[in-house]
Every structure is written in structure tokens, then in C-alpha cells.
Structure 1
């Protein structure tokens, strides 16, 4: 959480400094594409108040994120989503509004471009968020098990080399390809002591660790009861397929 708060503070400071430099110090060259405009267009933009309003938009975005920052110190589970959701909507919505202050000959075109971009980006982020929070299940069959949903796969029970029910999740050090959300992690991550691992975890113990053909998998359910049921189902079918008790695959583990 400390790293995420640090990133948010950097973004807040960056927006505030850029907004101040544009609005108060008239560093209009910081506005994308401004210096490539003709002198006539630059003068019209300045007359319309476009540069100053751009600076104000950046400053207000930083202020809004600063107001929301204390949420990080509460138990609210969707802090990151709210922070960056606000940034996305307020900033891109602001650029749609700024199209009103474009040069007269490009005003309509600017409005449609910024509006279309807003809708496309918002739709794309919404779909990604939905996929990230999409529920996954562990389905155990006679000779295989499957994790459903995005990043899910099917593995053979006979290929399982180790299974363990863990009360503490090892430290996740880096996201490779996946979703690192406030209440869930899903996809490929680096895990300390295990290397590249496939995660399907909610931020609530316990966790099931499975090693299948040198692939490391960590997963759990939405609550401890569901996780324990998954573990029991997996244990039972492994016993039937391999003829070995699940405890022989992880003798160091104690189930609570």
C-alpha cells in the first residue's frame, strides 16, 4: 500500500506542477501540440483562454486526487479504482469541455475527437475492470482440475507435484501480466521464493498453493469456507487418481 500511496502522490504533484507552470508561468509549450500551431492559432487559443483552462484542469485533477487520498488510510476496499477512475473521468471529460475554447475552425472536430477518445478509453477500462473482478472457480473433475475465467487453465491431477494450504501468502513482488486490484490479484506475478507464479487470490487467508510441472499456482475463494472446500475436493480426487494421500505431497503443512 505504501508504494501505491507514493505513486498517487507523485501523480498529484506532477499534475499540480504542470498546471501551475502552464497557468501561472505561461509555459504553453507544455501543452501537447501547442508549439506546432501557427502563430495565428496560438494567439486565438490564448485569447479564448484555452491554455489557462488547461492548466486549471490539471491543477483541479491533482486537488481532486489529493482530496481522495485519505481513503487509502481507511478500510475502504476500492481506493485505487476510485482514485484513478476519478482521474480518468475528470481529466478526459475536461478535455471534451476544453474543445469549446479551440480555434473556431477546429472546434467541432476537436469536440468529436476528444468525445470519441473519452468513450473508447472509458469503455476499454470498464471492460478490463470487469474481467479483472470476474469471479473464478476451481472445478475438480475425475482426472483434472480447472480454474475458470481469465488466465484460467486446465491441469491434470496426476501432474500435481505439491499441494499446500497456507495461512500466509508469500510476498508478491512484481506483476508480470495480470490484474493487481484492491481486493483481488489475477494473472502472472513474481512471488518471493517461488518466482513466476499464477495467482487467483482474494486478499483473505487461507491460500491454496499448487505446483504442477514446475508451474506455481496460488488461489483461494471469496471466503475461508470456500477455500477449504476447494482444498478438500482437490485432496480427495488426488488421492483417488494417484493413490497417495495429499499429506504425502506436502508433509510440512499443517491444516487448521
Structure 2
């Protein structure tokens, strides 16, 4: 959690500095594409207040994220998601609003481009979030076991070298390819003492550790009872 708070603080400071440089110091060249505009368009944009409002948008985004930051010190489980959704909606919604301050003849085009981009990005993020939170289950079959859902696959039971029920999850040091959400981790991660590992874990003990041909797998269910059922079912089918 400390690393995530640090990242949020860096983003807040970055937005604040950019907003200050644009709004107060009038470094309008920091706005994407502004320097490539003709002098006539630049002057009209400044007259309309477009770059000034862009700086304000970045500052307000930073302030909003700062207001939400104390949630990280509570038991609220979706801090990262709330921060990210706020940043995405506020920023992209703000740029849709700013399209009205575009140069004459381009405001309508800018509005539709910003609106389309907003819908596409929001849809993409929604799909990724759904896949990240999609429920997975451990299924033990006659000759193999399977973890369902994204990043899941099947492994032969005869190749299982170790199964252990752990009360404490080893430290996860780095995400390689997966979802590191507030209440769940799913995908490829680096785990201290184990190296590259496949995780399907809710942030609630206990955890099942499985070693298959030097591949490390950590998983648990939605509650301790389900996790223990999975462990017992898998253990009794391992020779």
C-alpha cells in the first residue's frame, strides 16, 4: 500500500506542477499540440481561455485526488479504483468541456473526438476491470486440475510436486503481467523467495501454494472455507 500511496502522490505533484506551469507561468507549449498551431490559432485559443482552463483542469484534478487520498488509510477496499476512475472521468470529461473554447470551426470536431475517445477508453477500462474481478474457481478432474477465468489453465495432477496451505502470503514484490487490484491479484507476479509466480488471490488468508514442474501458483477462494475445500480436494488427488 505504501508504494501505491507514493505513486498517487507523484501523480498529484505532477498534475499540480503542470497545471501551475500552464495556468500561472503561461507555459502553454506544455499543452499537447499547442506549439504546432499557427500564431492566429494560438492567439484565439488564449483569448478564449483554452490553455488557462487546461491548467486549471490539471490543478483541480490534483486537488480532487488529494482529497480522496485519506481513503488509503481507512479500511475502504477500493481506494485505487476510486482514485483511477475519478482521474479518468474528471480529466476526460474536462477535455470534452474544454472543446467549447476551441478556435472557431473546430469546436464541434474537438467535442466529438474527445467524446468518442472518452467512450472508447471508459469501455476498455470497464472490460479490463470486469476481467480482473471475474470469479475464478479451482476444479479438480480425474487427471488434471484447472483454474478457470483469465490467466487460468489446466495442469496434470501427476506433475504436481507440492501442495501447501499457507496462513501468510509471501511478499509480492512486482507485477509482471496481470491485475494488481485493491482486493485481488491475478496474473504473473514476482514473489519473494519464489520468483515468477502465477497468482489468483483475494487479500484474505489462507492461501494454497502449488508447485507444478517448477511453476509456482498461489490461489485462494472468496472465503477461508472455500479455500480449505479446494485444498482438501486437490490434496486427496495428489499421489
Q: How does the TM-score come out when normalised to structure 2?
A: 0.99
CA displacement, residues 158-190 of structure 1 (integer Å, 9 cap, x when unaligned): 100011110100010100000000000000000
**Alpha-carbon shift at residue 44 of structure 1 (Å):** 0.4
**Structure 1 residue 19 and structure 2 residue 19: aligned?**
yes
**Alpha-carbon shift at residue 92 of structure 1 (Å):** 0.5
Cα distance between partner residues in 2 of 1:71 and 1:182: 12
**Alpha-carbon shift at residue 24 of structure 1 (Å):** 0.9
Runs of 4+ deviating beyond 4 Å: none
Q: Residue 153 of structure 2 corresponds to which residue in structure 1?
A: 153
- The alignment of Structure 1 onto Structure 2 pairs a total of residues equal to 239
**Alpha-carbon shift at residue 106 of structure 1 (Å):** 1.0
Alignment of 1:241-252 (within 5 A): 242=239
Q: Residue 203 of structure 1 corresponds to which residue in structure 2?
A: 203
Q: Secondary structure at the match of 1:237?
A: coil
Q: Residue 85 of structure 2 corresponds to which residue in structure 1?
A: 85
Q: Secondary structure at the match of 1:152?
A: coil
**Structure 1 residue 173 and structure 2 residue 173: aligned?**
yes
Q: Residue 75 of structure 2 corresponds to which residue in structure 1?
A: 75
Q: RMSD in angstroms over aligned alpha carbons? A: 0.6
Q: Secondary structure at the match of 1:37?
A: coil
Alignment of 1:211-250 (within 5 A): 211-238=211-238, 242=239
Q: Residue 109 of structure 1 corresponds to which residue in structure 2?
A: 109
**Structure 1 residue 31 and structure 2 residue 39: aligned?**
no
**Structure 1 residue 122 and structure 2 residue 122: aligned?**
yes
Cα distance between partner residues in 1 of 2:21 and 2:40: 23
Q: Residue 95 of structure 1 corresponds to which residue in structure 2?
A: 95
Structure whose CA Rg is larger: 1
Q: Residue 252 of structure 1 corresponds to which residue in structure 2?
A: none
**Alpha-carbon shift at residue 49 of structure 1 (Å):** 0.4
Cα distance between partner residues in 2 of 1:177 and 1:9: 24
Cα distance between partner residues in 2 of 1:2 and 1:209: 26
Q: Secondary structure at the match of 2:229?
A: helix
Q: Secondary structure at the match of 1:209?
A: strand
User: 5+ residue gaps in structure 1?
Assistant: 243-256
Q: Secondary structure at the match of 1:104?
A: coil
**Alpha-carbon shift at residue 108 of structure 1 (Å):** 1.0
CA displacement, residues 185-237 of structure 1 (integer Å, 9 cap, x when unaligned): 00000011111100000000110000001110000001110000000100112
User: 5+ residue gaps in structure 2?
Assistant: none
Q: Residue 163 of structure 2 corresponds to which residue in structure 1?
A: 163
Cα distance between partner residues in 1 of 2:177 and 2:42: 43
Q: Residue 64 of structure 2 corresponds to which residue in structure 1?
A: 64
**Alpha-carbon shift at residue 125 of structure 1 (Å):** 0.4
